[in-house]
Amino acid sequence: MTIVKTTYNRRSFLKVTALSGGGMLLGFNWFMNVVPPGKTGAAALAAAGVDLNGFIQITSQGEVTIFSPNPEFGQNLMTSLPMIVAEELDVDWKNVRVEQARFNTELYTRQMAGGSQSIRQTWQALRTAGASARHMLVQAAAQAWQVPAAEIRTENGVLSHSSGKTAGYGELAAAAAQIPVPKEIQLKEVKDFKIVSTPRQNVEGANIVTGKPMFTMDYRREGMLIAMLTHPPAFGMQLKSFDAAEAKAMPGIRDVFSIQVYQEGYEKEVFDTCTFNDLVVVVGNSTWEVLNAKKALRIEWEPIATRTEIQKFWGGQKREVTIPGGLENSTGHQQRMETEGAKSAKVARRDGDPETAFKNAARVIERSYSAPFLAHNCMEPMNCFAHVTADKAELVGPVQAPEMVEKTLAARLGLPLDKIDIQLARMGGGFGRRAYGQYMVEAAVISQRLNAPIKLIYTREDDMSYGIYRPAYHATYRAALDADKNLIGFHVTAGGIPESPLHANRFPAGAIDNYLAEEWAIPSNITIGAFRAPRSNFIAGAEQSFLDELAEAMGKDPIEFRLELLQRAKTNPVGQNNDYDPGRYAGVLELVREKSGWAKGKKSKTARGVAAYFCHNSYAAHVIDLTAKKGKITVEKVTSALDCGIIVNPLGASNMVEGAVTDGIGNAFYGGLRFKDGQPEQNNFNTYRMIRMPEAPKAIEVHFVKNDIPPTGLGEPPFPPVFGAIANALYKATGKRSYHQPFLADERVVD
């Protein structure tokens, strides 16, 4: 039996209010549990314990509305978060209405989509809120009926007593609003769940299939103008001058001017990444007119010299970063990464005596892996509505981290924080890109200048060539084997442009006596940002490909080899700070082995590859079956096993994993943005190859480890190991190892 307190620092995190028409409104804090144990300082409490940010509304007619405060970009939180509330509230899911709450820092504390954290960080608070509201309804019924509360049952939004008395929640909601908020509350047993862990369709499904206007791109306002911008064609270039005469004279054009995104001397916050600070803007009545005028602009660009910039990182850490001048090339990038990868670098972890192990080795296996820059390519290009007047700013935007950009907007516009109003719109994809809200600042600056409502739209070309990419990465792995083919030493050196992908304390750290992890980075003027499972999305594939090759050299089955290492990490771990649970890691490998029929794989007509990884608090493993016939690779089947604790909505969760698998295969096969003289060589979907239906897996089977562990992340964890599983399957099909992404950049891999 789980009993939880509803108070925090002597303050309740629940507050009940009577609705004017009769009924109750229970406010609560979604992020009650965001403060990790041991970090209960006053500041943390102020952030987590005071403000109310979620609401359950029950009208006297019995309509139940649950507000979902987190931004929605396809992870389907609008369904899964309210399901958790509804479970404890004991209402019929069919009668629950879900609404996207407005962004409001007065009310909300972490309105953010990112890091696969939304369910993990709200789980207990949502359950507590639902259970508390139910408790108050039960108390109201007990008073009304003069019976003990313990004798009252609830089901599907109806209260009942053995005497035959029944009442809908709506009938007693007004009375429940007068009941004091309980100090502690009993939560349901996991085995009694009726809504959580059952498949529920996307609450926005009907709006999506009928094409309802849900995205910022669809937003319109009376008198709204359309704005588009032109940024430098290459990284390392900036605006020198422009001639707007021709564009200004074109039909429907209101104005052409340049803007400065951030002002001189502004110290950027973590998510203030901005590639091009000076932009030329065209504003007009309609999109097509603006597009035509944009083509008529005459702009001169000039190179930017090497400069330094203070950059903020997570946790408030500041660093002076040198941004080199010059026009960069992909071929130069690859050469520099190979050179850097061959040197000694900053040691991130050392266990035992790796140098001696390598000196004594009977055989050393060394392999290098690399991957190019990737563009996020959200289907809805960056865009934002803004209406900035002298005393307030109103924005509607697709944004993952509104709380971050709100501060930036206030600073840039010279308005107090409470005069910045951001309305969250459903996002046409995010993948990390929309954590960086510079397009919202641009929209606001344009609107402020014109004193008019505007919608800024990036063309696909503007979007793809703007930057904030997944970095380019490189990793070299070395393994030392003794004469009996035992693994006696392990060494990884990883780096990238401009950051390292290394996670030094992850598997196989902790499983090998002599272990060395080093990292390096090469500065660049190409901007980078979070991309679905940052860093993991490269290092997992490299590591899991290397382990596969190692298993083969040692004459072991690749799953058995990993399980042996995990057994060592579990029973007799090496070193400190191993940040994974070897038991749960082994669990997904065992599940995928069983479900894929791995043992029968030797007789299979398909080539099979396996990989597993841990990131964002969850464990994922995939077995990929593919064929290579007449030069054509076909992914026949993917079997996936996940351990992310309790699954809230199995239907949405499976969809998420299937999407991650497809996304991973697409990026592994084709993904890549190449540069020539600072200019991206791809800027639209006719040159940047995306996975399409014919290349997608013919079947994807998703399995979840069943346990009662509170839920952890799922948006990111299934993505990184796909790169390893597909590389290992390609090897089995073709006899050639794939070391450099994109694996199918040309057809050489297939004979």
Partner 1 sequence: MAIFNLTINGKTRQVDVDPTTPMLWVLRDHLDLPGTKYGCGVAACGACTIHLNGNAMRSCVLPVSAAEGQSITTIEGLSEEGEHPVQQAWLEHDVAQCGYCQAGQIMSAVALLNNNPKPSDTDIETFMAGNICRCGTYSRIKAAIKTAAGH
Give min distance, CB of 273 to partner 1, in A. 21
| Residue 725 engages partner 1 in binding (rule: CB under 8 A) | no
Give min distance, CB of 633 to partner 1, in A. 14
DSSP-assigned letters across all residues of 545-562: HHHHHHHHHTT--HHHHH
Of residues 213 through 242, those in contact with partner 1 by CB under 8 A are: 213-215, 217-218, 220, 226
3-state secondary structure 277-319: CEEEEEEECCHHHHHHHHHCCEEEEEECCCEEEEEECHHHCEE
Give min distance, CB of 428 to partner 1, in A. 3
Q: Using an 8 Å Cβ cutoff, are 60 and 169 in contact?
A: no
The gap between the terminal CA atoms of the chain, to the nearest Å, is 61
**Which residue in the set 13, 30, 73, 723 belongs to the binding site for partner 1 (CB under 8 A)?**
73
Residue whose structure tokens are 């949405």: 652
At 192, give phi and psi (nearest 5°): -95, 0
| Residue 684 engages partner 1 in binding (rule: CB under 8 A) | yes
Residue whose structure tokens are 């039996």: 1
Give min distance, CB of 287 to partner 1, in A. 5
| Residue 146 engages partner 1 in binding (rule: CB under 8 A) | no
| Residue 462 engages partner 1 in binding (rule: CB under 8 A) | no
Overall size of the chain counted in residues: 751
Give min distance, CB of 461 to partner 1, in A. 8
For partner 1, which is the closer residue by CB, 193 or 215?
215
Q: What is the dihedral of CA 526, 683, 218, 230, to 10 degrees?
A: 60
Size of the site for partner 1 (CB under 8 A): 67
Residue range at the interface with partner 1 (CB under 8 A); choices 335-343, 476-484, 688-696, 723-731: 688-696
**Which residue in the set 303, 429, 573, 710 belongs to the binding site for partner 1 (CB under 8 A)?**
429
Give min distance, CB of 696 to partner 1, in A. 4
| Residue 71 engages partner 1 in binding (rule: CB under 8 A) | no
Give min distance, CB of 700 to partner 1, in A. 5
| Residue 721 engages partner 1 in binding (rule: CB under 8 A) | no
Of residues 346 through 405, those in contact with partner 1 by CB under 8 A are: 377-381
For partner 1, which is the closer residue by CB, 215 or 739?
215
| Residue 205 engages partner 1 in binding (rule: CB under 8 A) | yes
| Residue 343 engages partner 1 in binding (rule: CB under 8 A) | no
Residue range at the interface with partner 1 (CB under 8 A); choices 265-273, 538-546, 696-704, 705-713: 696-704
Give min distance, CB of 139 to partner 1, in A. 38
| Residue 680 engages partner 1 in binding (rule: CB under 8 A) | no
| Residue 82 engages partner 1 in binding (rule: CB under 8 A) | no
Give min distance, CB of 717 to partner 1, in A. 15
Q: Using an 8 Å Cβ cutoff, are 626 and 634 in contact?
A: yes
| Residue 690 engages partner 1 in binding (rule: CB under 8 A) | yes
For partner 1, which is the closer residue by CB, 39 or 692?
692
For partner 1, which is the closer residue by CB, 33 or 202?
202
For partner 1, which is the closer residue by CB, 403 or 461?
461
Alpha-carbon gap, residue 516 to 351, rounded angstroms: 7
Q: Using an 8 Å Cβ cutoff, are 103 and 424 in contact?
A: yes
Give min distance, CB of 100 to partner 1, in A. 13
For partner 1, which is the closer residue by CB, 167 or 638?
638
**Which residue in the set 696, 709, 745, 750 belongs to the binding site for partner 1 (CB under 8 A)?**
696
Furthest-apart CA atoms within the chain: distance in Å: 84
Alpha-carbon gap, residue 537 to 615, rounded angstroms: 10
| Residue 459 engages partner 1 in binding (rule: CB under 8 A) | yes
Q: CA 42, 47, 49, 50 torsion: positive or negative?
A: positive
Residue at 290: amino acid letter: V
Any bridge partners for residue 641, and if so which? 621, 703
Coil, strand, or helix at residue 478? strand
| Residue 289 engages partner 1 in binding (rule: CB under 8 A) | yes
Burial 35-67 (b: 16+ CB within 10 A, else e): beeeeeeeeeeeebbebbbbbbbbbbebbbebb
| Residue 29 engages partner 1 in binding (rule: CB under 8 A) | no
At 427, give phi and psi (nearest 5°): -100, 140
Of residues 625 through 654, those in contact with partner 1 by CB under 8 A are: 651-652
**Which residue in the set 41, 288, 306, 747 belongs to the binding site for partner 1 (CB under 8 A)?**
288
**Which residue in the set 41, 251, 325, 523 belongs to the binding site for partner 1 (CB under 8 A)?**
251
Helical H segments across 451-553, by residue range = 460-464, 536-553
Q: Which residues contact 164 (CB under 8 A, 6 or more apart)?
A: none
Give min distance, CB of 156 to partner 1, in A. 23
DSSP-assigned letters across all residues of 193-254: -SSTTS----TTHHHHHTT---BGGG---TTPEEEEEE--SSTTEEEEEEE-HHHHTSTTEE
Burial label, 737 (beta-carbon count in 10 A; 0-12, 13-18, 19+): middle
| Residue 249 engages partner 1 in binding (rule: CB under 8 A) | no
Contacting positions for partner 1 (CB under 8 A): 73-76, 199, 201-202, 204-206, 208-215, 217-218, 220, 226, 251, 286-289, 291-292, 377-381, 426-431, 457, 459-460, 651-652, 655-656, 658-663, 666, 684-686, 690-694, 696-700
